Amino acid sequence: MKKTVTTLADGRELLYYDSRDDAVRDAVDRRPLDAVSTSSEIRRDPFLGDSVAIASHRQGRIYHPPADECPLCPSRDGRRSEIPEADYDVAVFENRFPSLAGDSGRCEVVCFTSDHEASFADLTEDQAALVLEAWTDRTAELAELPQVKQVFCFENRGAEIGVTLGHPHGQIYAYPFVTPRTELMLRSMAAHRAETGGNLFDDVVAREMADGSRIVIDAEHWVAFVPYAAHWPYEVHLHPRRRVPDLRELDEAARTEFPQVYLELLRRFDRIFGPGEPPTPYISAWHQAPFGVPGREEFGLHLELFTIRRTSGKLKFLAGSESGMNVFINDVPPEAAAQRLREVASE
């Protein structure tokens, strides 16, 4: 893997990740861009104790542009985009409309491929491996920023999720605080240790393996299962068998096997609802240990993949109970979801 670091016309950082060591990336961004101006602010809710990012400048971000004006495609035929090169493997750049910036953190865009019509599931194993390298490298670099407490790599896919750019891409948020979801996991982890003496992540994976009814993929270095108390109609958690706190600590065997397992999961998601159905909208989210917290090494890195589609033509909306009280009601039994995901395995 070769990494090339450069800057865009307004001073934002742009990084190319290439599979070939002899790749040359020297195209210059010649767009007449003004310096990025952000108004990101973190405010703390006194009742819930969580943090909210106020980012009014995001109202002007690009919204559903036509394919020939996509800002994530390579710059070609006189049309200049966020990527000055005429082609690329994987590209990462600072978001022009970040939710978090400066002392409030950092937001980056990860372009998985230069092919506008592709999706992550269409990538080859080598391409998916390169994306994993990019996620890992960005986690390592963002971890060194003094204001950053947690790095979150994720992908939103589908208009139903709220995606405004159709090009296959994800994002990385570097938060200046530990997210509420992770705080809950850390508390559960500590309580489990105090009560049983064991590690919560190890014990949950062992329980799912012993039960077997919710296992989706049982590979040599990774295991994927629908959680016992799944919040979403189709939700899968992917854990490395050797527990590690973040992407940086995955061993070579897990890195090598990940593309095969992850691509198979994504392709199964697109087959859940049968032939002729549109691509399944999903959120794919890496849960990594935050920095500088007690018991960090006990945290278990894992990827959460879920869709808001509950059946053909119907979505799972977060209505009163979910949005008002954060109590989820799931219409699809986890065991039935796991069975369906096993049924649509690649032959």
pLDDT score of 61 more than 60 = no
User: How high is the pLDDT of residue 77?
Assistant: 84
User: How high is the pLDDT of residue 138?
Assistant: 98
Phi/psi zone of residue 11: left (φ > 0), alpha (ψ -120 to 50 degrees), beta? left
Answer yes or no: do 190 and 248 share one domain.
yes
pLDDT per position as a tens digit, 234-291: 999 999 999 999 999 999 999 999 999 999 999 999 999 998 899 999 999 999 999 9
Answer yes or no: do 95 and 141 share one domain.
yes
| pTM of the model as a whole | 0.95
Answer yes or no: do 212 and 313 share one domain.
yes
pLDDT per position as a tens digit, 139-180: 999 999 999 999 999 999 999 998 988 999 999 999 999 999
User: How high is the pLDDT of residue 67?
Assistant: 65
d(CA 314, CA 327): 20
pLDDT score of 68 more than 80 = no
Answer yes or no: do 169 and 299 share one domain.
no
Q: Domain end: 126, 155, 175, which one?
A: 175
Question: Which one has a higher pLDDT value, 318 or 337?
Answer: 337
Answer yes or no: do 149 and 237 share one domain.
no
Q: Of 169, 192, 237, 287, which one is the catalytic site residue?
A: 169
Q: Which domain holds residue 234?
A: 180-343
d(CA 145, CA 101): 12
Task: Quote the tokens at residue 231.
Answer: 């919040």
Q: Which amino acid is located at 164 in the chain?
A: T
Q: Domain end: 145, 175, 205, which one?
A: 175
d(CA 288, CA 182): 9
Answer yes or no: do 132 and 170 share one domain.
yes
pLDDT score of 341 more than 80 = yes
User: How high is the pLDDT of residue 58?
Assistant: 59
Answer yes or no: do 155 and 265 share one domain.
no
Answer yes or no: do 126 and 255 share one domain.
no
Task: Quote the tokens at residue 151.
Answer: 């790095």
Report angle CA 289, 290, 292 to the nearest 5 degrees: 120
pLDDT per position as a tens digit, 10-59: 999 999 999 999 999 999 999 998 877 777 789 999 999 999 998 865 55
How much is the average pLDDT of 111-119? 97
d(CA 317, CA 302): 25
Give the three-state DSSP class for 174: strand
Q: Where are the beta strands (DSSP E) in 30-176?
A: 41-44, 51-54, 90-94, 106-111, 150-157, 169-175
220 class by beta-carbon count within 10 Å (0-12 exposed, 13-18 middle, 19+ buried): exposed
Task: Judge contact between 174 and 105, C-beta under 8 A.
Answer: yes
Average pLDDT, the chain: 94
Q: How many structural domains compose the chain? A: 2
User: How high is the pLDDT of residue 276?
Assistant: 87
Answer yes or no: do 161 and 195 share one domain.
no
Q: Give the CA dihedral 97, 101, 104, 106, nearest 10 degrees.
A: 100
Chain centroid, CA 308 distance in Å: 16
pLDDT score of 76 more than 70 = yes
Answer yes or no: do 10 and 124 share one domain.
yes
Q: Give the CA dihedral 214, 280, 112, 300, nearest 10 degrees.
A: -20
Answer yes or no: do 110 and 200 share one domain.
no
- Which string of DSSP letters, residue by residue, matches 298-324? G---EEEEEESEEETTEE----IIIII
Q: What is the CATH number of the domain that holds 292?
A: 3.30.428.10
d(CA 177, CA 45): 13
pLDDT per position as a tens digit, 285-326: 999 999 999 989 999 999 999 999 999 999 999 999 999 999
Answer yes or no: do 16 and 96 share one domain.
yes
User: How high is the pLDDT of residue 40?
Assistant: 79
Question: Is 231 a residue of the active site?
Answer: no
pLDDT score of 125 more than 90 = yes
Task: Judge contact between 42 and 148, C-beta under 8 A.
Answer: no
DSSP code of 245?
Answer: S
